[in-house]
Amino acid sequence: MKRLLLAILLSTGLGLVAPCTAAAFQSSYQPATPSAAQPFTGALDSHPTVALTFDDLPAAGSLPQGQNRSKILTTLAAELKTVHLEGTYGFVNAVKLENDPDAQQALRIWVDAGMNIGSHTWSHMSLTGNTAEAFEHEIALNEPALAQYAGARDWHWFRYPFLWEGDTLEKRHAVRAYLKDHGYRVAQVSLDFEDYAWNDAYARCSAKADSEAIAWLKQSYLDTAADYIRLGREEEHIAFGHEIPNVMLLHATAFTTLMLPNLVEQLRKEGFGFAALADVEQDPAYAQDPDAALKYGGTLPDQFMDSRHLPYPPFKPKPFDKLKSLCW
């Protein structure tokens, strides 16, 4: 599966500071070739593990009426504390702090609530669309803000924007070496359902008080999460021979903040327990490197599937067309 955001960002002129969410509706996975899809026939584990992580702090996606970044991160941190997930990592683009007191206050609230921060580059830069040197410059540029907000806490975790780790092996190797030399660990992802893609539709539908549309948004968000969590776990069986402790990619949007209690409840019903990012990424699977040039990157299981040409199990497309057309 491939994330196609870069081509969209460049073709629409949204530029390099656009967050994942700016291109939500144009993004999509390329579906696996149906003839190549092979149903997974094994059994999923009864008690999987997941670390939740949040990208694009302190400002992900458009704001529904009456919301601001401080309110969103206050609520998100409180929800995480309720389920004993202090220390959850949020990955920061420090450009969003510039001249924005609300964003600055939001990030301070997140850290003061006991949550952690890591790097997502200064401006959400695409490694596919830029040189390794430019990308490394953006990692360095992000550091003063991370050090300022995190204080003595460990901020040396790195999440690649768009999950794109290099479209050439030279870039991939150069940036990995840079990260290692500068003390970073890569915050790999195993589960991703592109949660950000629901947010802007929610902002529009809430402005119209369209309760029927909002009910559909909530149900389709949870249904898509369930489908793609199952798919990610099936990929792990195919790629690694067994399930691994998981890292889920979420975004600090208003809608994911609204839905988090329901998502946590759904995960618990599926048998999931929660763990810290550092503990999960100690699993030997996360030390494996597909070592492939991948234009559109992906989760770690995706990268193994794509680089080894392993057939994906069948999966439903996400409802991007409806999300794009709702509540105008």
Q: How far is the CB of 161 from Zn ion (least distance, A)?
A: 5
Q: How far is the CB of 257 from Zn ion (least distance, A)?
A: 16
Omega cis (within 30) before 313 = no
Q: How far is the CB of 121 from Zn ion (least distance, A)?
A: 9
Q: How far is the CB of 20 from Zn ion (least distance, A)?
A: 4
CA atoms within 13 A on the CB side of 196: 27
Q: CA 84, CA 218: separation in Å to the nearest integer?
A: 24
Q: CA 37, CA 31: separation in Å to the nearest integer?
A: 10
Cα-trace Rg, the chain: 18
DSSP string, 238-281: HHHSS---EEEEEE--HHHHHHHHHHHHHHHHTT-EE--HHHHT
User: Site residues (CB under 5 A) for Zn ion?
Assistant: 20, 55-56, 161
Q: CA 69, CA 3: separation in Å to the nearest integer?
A: 26
Record the tokens describing residue 290, joined without a space.
């597909």
Three-state SS sequence of 154-209: CCCEECCHHHCCCCCHHHHHHHHHHHHHCCCEECCCCEECCHHHHHHHHHHHHHCC
Q: Are 103 and 136 in contact (CB under 8 A)?
A: no
Q: How far is the CB of 44 from Zn ion (least distance, A)?
A: 28
Q: How far is the CB of 209 from Zn ion (least distance, A)?
A: 30
Q: How far is the CB of 62 from Zn ion (least distance, A)?
A: 15
DSSP string, 79-123: HHHHTT-TT-EEEE-GGGGTT-HHHHHHHHHHHHTT-EEEE--SS
